[in-house]
Amino acid sequence: MTGLCDTCKHQKLVPNTRGSVFSMCERSKTDPRYPKYPRLPVKQCPGYVSVSR
């Protein structure tokens, strides 16, 4: 649903009060090059780190 972010270690899924879930990039906390809520789907990302879930 979010492209690369779905399988990235740095993704955090954040639910809001209306029942939607946003894909937040935790890299944004330490690196200003990454938006907090990246425009989806993310097709290419230099900060991508694969995780299995």
Rounded to a whole number of angstroms, the minimum distance from the CB of residue 47 to ligand SF4 is: 4
Q: Between the CA of residue 40 and those of 3, 10, 32, what are the distances in Å?
A: 7, 15, 18
- The first and second tokens of residue 37, run together, are 């809520």
- Identify the sign of the CA torsion 23, 29, 32, 33: negative
Least separation in angstroms between CB 45 and ligand SF4:
3
List contacts with ligand SF4 (CB under 6 A): 4-5, 8, 10-11, 25, 27, 34, 38, 42, 45, 47-48
Please report how close the Cβ of residue 40 comes to ligand SF4 at its closest, in angstroms: 9
